[in-house]
Each structure stands twice: as structure tokens, then as C-alpha cells.
Amino acid sequence: MSVLNPKKVIKTRLRRSTNFYSVMYYYIYDTFLNDKKYEKVIDRIKTRLLDFEIQGKHEQLTLLKNIDELIGDEVKKGANTVIVVGDDQTFLKVIDVVADNDVSLGIIPVGPNNRIAEAFGVPMEEAACEIIAARKIVKLDLGLANQKYFFTDLKISKNLDRLQVEKDRFQVVPKKTCQEVEIINFYMPDPKIGFEKKLKKISAQDGYLDMVVRAKNNNHKWLKKNKMAGKIDTVMTSDKFKVKSFEYLPLELDGYKIIKTPAEIQIKRDKLKVIAGKNRRKDIK
């Protein structure tokens, strides 16, 4: 457990006291935190939030509660900062409603899958409260596909030979050797592959989406079982893409939302306001 720095606390409290009536926090706890093993962690987080005097309304999600409706209602009541307590999935789940309501978003990472929080320089569990209290906000672009927002990427990996991607005045027709088409807003390196140099230019703050086409790895047939990502074959940048196909094809947004073709994909600049720490990834300014 990290030690509380009194100077920082006073500084934060002073800052907070000036914004006391303007900042209203709404904390949402993901369903998996109902598990008993997280009880102590949640208690420590709540205590820490009290220390920093950044209390607000706390809501525990259940399978019966709709996260969009909950946040929508609280925003109407005046909440302007949503803090999700959970993992990457929790963060990605609230993207749509947060972007539509123009509120700030923070994350207190709990659990194993927290690569987004790590990218934003937010430490695990109660240590994240200090970052939340400091309230350093960064603005990021979001992708919009058929009125659904996505933060990381949009993937198409089935029936690619029936697909057509239009950009400006030309169209891209994938061949049989094509394994996957991704349209990326925020690059999250796959832990199995590691950082890919060819994608180092991708930024969620440049006003562009990047289309990445991966080709099948013919040299490593024995790796097929592991579903390794193919090698990067094509990289293209644009603020707008159109995806068409002869029949309905599924497009996967952020790894969990599914939409169907045809789809018009565009970038929405500075649509997401996220609370980030000092140790955030270098491409997040």
C-alpha cells in the first residue's frame, strides 16, 4: 500500500474545495466485484476516496441493471465525472454513454485485465485514487461506426473475400491471403505479440483512424492452433472508411460489440475525456 503524501493531499483538497460544487463523481462497480475476494479491496478504495474527499454516489452493477440508463440518469441529476471500478471491459462498456453525455471518465483498476488503465498511467486498486483526485484530463478521439462508438479498434475477420472497404476515391479489396482487417483508433499491443513497430504512429489524438490489414502466416502452420495474429501487410490512414459486403458480415467493436455491414466508420475528435496519470503512455499527450 502506498503512503499518503500530506502535501499532495492538501494541494488536492484545496483544488477540490474550489471545484466542490462543480465536480460530482459517480462510481460504478462492475458485476465481478460482487465476489467476496474483492471485498477488502473495495473497502480500501472507499476509504482512500474518503481521504481525498472525492466521494460521490456509488453503484454496484448487477445483471439486471442497465449501465447506460444508470449513467444517463445520474448525468441528468448533475454527475459530470464517471469513475468505473473494474477492468478494461468495464471501461469499454461505458464509452457510448459517456461520449454522448460529454462527461469525464476515470478508472480504478481492479482484477487481472487492466491494460487500458496501465496505458493511462493509472495504478491498481486504491493507489488509483490519487490519480482520480489529481484530475488530470486528456482528450481522446473515438471511432464511430453506425452510431456506435469504439475506443480501441474495429475488427473484421470472417469472409474477407466478400468485403470491400472504401476510402476517399478508391476501394480496397482483400485477397485470399488476407487474415484480418482492423480499423484502429487506440493501439493496444497484443501481449502475446508485443509492440509492433509498424503501428507506432497510431495515435488516438491525431484525428485519424488507421486501417491495418494482416496477412496469413503461411510459414508457421504449426502456430495455427495458437491463433497468432498475422503479419502486418497494409497500413492506411483516413478519417473516414466505408465497409460494404454482398451479404451481412459481423464487425466487432472493442472486442465485444457487434454491428453488421454496411458500415460507415468515422473519427470523432476529442470526444472522450479521460483522467490520466503522469506515467501514461508516451503517445498520450
Partner 1 sequence: MFKNNEDQEYTAYEQSGDDTMIGHSIKIEGDLVSSGSVVVEGEVVGTVKTEQTLKVGEKAKISADVDAKEARVAGRVDGNITVQDSLELDSTAEVNGDIQAGRLTIASGAVFNGRCSMSENASSAGSEKKKNERAESEESDKDTSEEID
Element (H, E) at 10: helix 6-18
Cα–Cα distance, 196 to 203 (Å, whole number): 14
Q: How far is the CB of 231 from partner 1 (least distance, A)?
A: 9
Q: To the nearest 10°, report the CA torsion of 157, 118, 25, 41.
A: 110
Q: How far is the CB of 199 from partner 1 (least distance, A)?
A: 10
Choosing from 158, 198, 220, 224, the residue that interacts with partner 1 (CB under 8 A) is: 198
Choosing from 70, 178, 204, 263, the residue that interacts with partner 1 (CB under 8 A) is: 178
Listed in sequence order, the residues at least 6 apart from 21 whose beta carbon sits closer than 8 Å to its beta carbon are none
Q: How far is the CB of 260 from partner 1 (least distance, A)?
A: 22
Stretch touching partner 1 by CB under 8 A, among 5-13, 25-33, 149-157, 168-176 = 168-176
Identify residues 218-247 at the interface with partner 1 (CB under 8 A).
Answer: 232-237
Listed in sequence order, the residues at least 6 apart from 156 whose beta carbon sits closer than 8 Å to its beta carbon are 163, 180, 181, 182, 243, 249, 250, 251, 252
Q: Which amino acid is at 59?
A: E
Using the Cα atoms of residue 22, residue 118, residue 145 and residue 63 in order, give the sign of their dihedral.
negative
Choosing from 215, 217, 255, 257, the residue that interacts with partner 1 (CB under 8 A) is: 215
112 binds partner 1 (CB under 8 A): no
- Please identify, using beta-carbon distances, which residue of 69 and 168 lies nearer to partner 1: 168
Question: Which position has the grid cell 476510402?
Answer: 167
| Residues of this chain that bind partner 1 (CB under 8 A) | 118, 168-175, 177-179, 189, 191, 194-195, 197-198, 200-201, 213-216, 232-237, 281-283
